[in-house]
Structures are given as structure tokens and as C-alpha cells.
Chain A
Amino acid sequence: MIVALSTSGLKRAKWYEYVIRFALGGIVTASAALIAKRISPSFGGLFLAFPAILAASSTLVEKHERQRKRENGLNGMYRGRHAAGADAAGAAMSSIGLITFAIFVWKLLPEHNLLSVIAGATVLWALVAVAIWWSWKRNVPQRFAKQLGFSRTKARSTDRESIPAPPSSSAGSARQPSGPPRRRAS
């Protein structure tokens, strides 16, 4: 299964981490309203997509992964940072869904029921975010680029095939240099 439910993340989360997230979410929501009131609704609207929670969550993800590895006697520093980078990559994909959410609300809210529009926009966000994540997981962009002839994989494999195999008889000779094959002078 590509996606799985796991309670290990919940077990590792401390109560104060949820308090931090609650406080950050509350501060951003209240600040967006304050900016909309003091400056303009147009400028305040920008802050509805402010990434304060993303900054907090990627830091917590890094911390949890590092702790998990340390419990197993490993350093876990690189694992933690990799997890934080993966978390941010997921958010980048999801932000395209957030763009569709905002367009949906902007276009439909003035003439339709509030709750229907908000519910529809949330479903649209989830569908777009999961669809982008799914296609990325299935290497759809890479396959598409390859079909169009923009793939670097093809060039790399050709280079690799052209490298001659090291001679098995020359055990005492110097190590074969890596990289493209050199033409020997005849």
C-alpha cells in the first residue's frame, strides 16, 4: 500500500506541540483579519496562505524522526532532515490544490451558498493535492518528459553503457578512472 495510517506519529507528538500549532494557527487567523481590517481585505487575503504552520510542522517532523533513530542507537540527523524535506515537498504539491481552492471560492462564493462552496472547495483541494502526489509517486512527470525527449535518464544510461568494463586480468594495475571512456592512441 502506498499510503498507510499509523498512530506512531501521534504517540511521538507531545501535548505542547499541539499547543504550539494551535497558537500559531490562531495568531495567523487573527492577524489576517487584523491586516484585512487595517489595510484592506485584498492584502489581508494573502495571509490565508501564510506558511507558519508548515515551518512548525517540518521542524517537528525532523525532531520526531531524529528521536526515532536515536532510540535505535543511530544518529538520525540526516534521516530527520530528509523527512523534513519530504514534508515540505508534500506541501509544495498541496499548494497547487490550495490555488484551486482559492479560485473556486473567489468565483463561486458571491452567488452560491457559503457552506456548499467551502465544502466543495475543500474537496477540490484534497482531490487536486492527492492527484498531484499520486502522479508524482507514479513518476508521471518523468515519463511525460521522457516522451517529449527532455529526460536526462536516457543520456545517463547511454553514457553508462559506453563505459568499458574493467579488464579482469589486470589485478595489479591502477584503478580504472570513472567517467566517459578515453580513446587510446593507436
Chain B
Amino acid sequence: MKDLIIRFIIGGFVVSLFSFISDLFKPKTFAGLFGAAPSVALASLVLTALKQTKGTAAIEARSMILGAVALLIYASVVSYIVLRFRLPALWVSLPSLLLWMAAAAALWSLVLS
């Protein structure tokens, strides 16, 4: 439980830091680069390597490649739908999380399971 609280605080802090940096930049496409910053990964990989082993962190990083490919699909689809059909961002980005999960799970079962 203590480990999860530490991860919550550090993860939240790193994500907020990248969001803060993102708010400083123009144009929006450049600021958007920070939307796929390795914020959760930085906190998680460092804590896993310190608390467990570097090998476990490397295994997580290997799976993260597939998660990032799913993120590429997710962000491309959200961007296309919002720009093409002018729908509210929340209507597109929230249901599309299911697309990320489906893509990530499919890639993981194909490549790593």
C-alpha cells in the first residue's frame, strides 16, 4: 500500500510537471508533443528498478513499446475524428480509450504473450 501511495504522488507530480511545460508552448501541435511524454513511464520505471530489479523494469519497458504503438493509433484516430467531424474532444477521446486498450491487448497477445 505504501508503495502505491509513493507511486501515486511521484506519478502525479511528473505528469503535472509535463502538463505545466506543455502549457508554456505555442503552437498547439508543439504543445501536444507533451501529451505523449514519458511521464508515467519515468516515475514507474525508476521506482520499479529501485524497489525490484532492473530486469523487471526492462520487461515493463519492452511492453511499453506496444503500449506506445497503441498510443500512436489512439492519438491519430482522435486527431482525425476531432478535426474531420468537429466533434467535442471529450466525446472522442474518452470512448477512444477502449480503442487503445483493444490495440494494446491485441498487440501484446500477438507479440509477447
A-to-B contact residues, CB < 8 Å: 2-7, 9-10, 13, 18, 21-30, 32-34, 36, 41-55, 57-59, 61-62, 78, 80-99, 101-103, 105-106, 109-110, 114, 118, 121-122, 125, 129-130, 133, 136-137
Contact = CB atoms under 8 A, between A and B. Distances in A.
A28 B48 CA distance: 15
Secondary structure type dominating chain B contacts: helix
Q: Max chain A CB contacts within 10 Å: which of B19, B29, B34, B75?
A: B29
A106 B62 contact: yes
B54 A110 contact: yes
B33 A90 contact: yes
B59 interface: yes
A129 to B, nearest CB: 5
Interface string B46-82: 1111100011111111111111111110111011101
Interface of B: 3-5, 7-16, 18-20, 22-50, 54-72, 74-76, 78-80, 82-83, 86-90, 93-94, 96-97, 100, 104-105, 108, 112
A25 B11 contact: yes
Given A30-B4, A59-B89, A90 B32 contact: yes
Contacts of A53: 15, 18-19, 35, 39-40
Contacts of B66: 46
Given A41-B59, A95-B68, A122 B42 contact: yes
B39 A94 contact: no
Given A3-B30, A106-B58, A133-B30, 17 more contacts: A2-B27, A29-B11, A30-B11, A43-B108, A45-B62, A47-B67, A49-B41, A51-B74, A62-B90, A81-B88, A85-B82, A86-B79, A87-B31, A91-B33, A91-B75, A93-B29, A99-B72
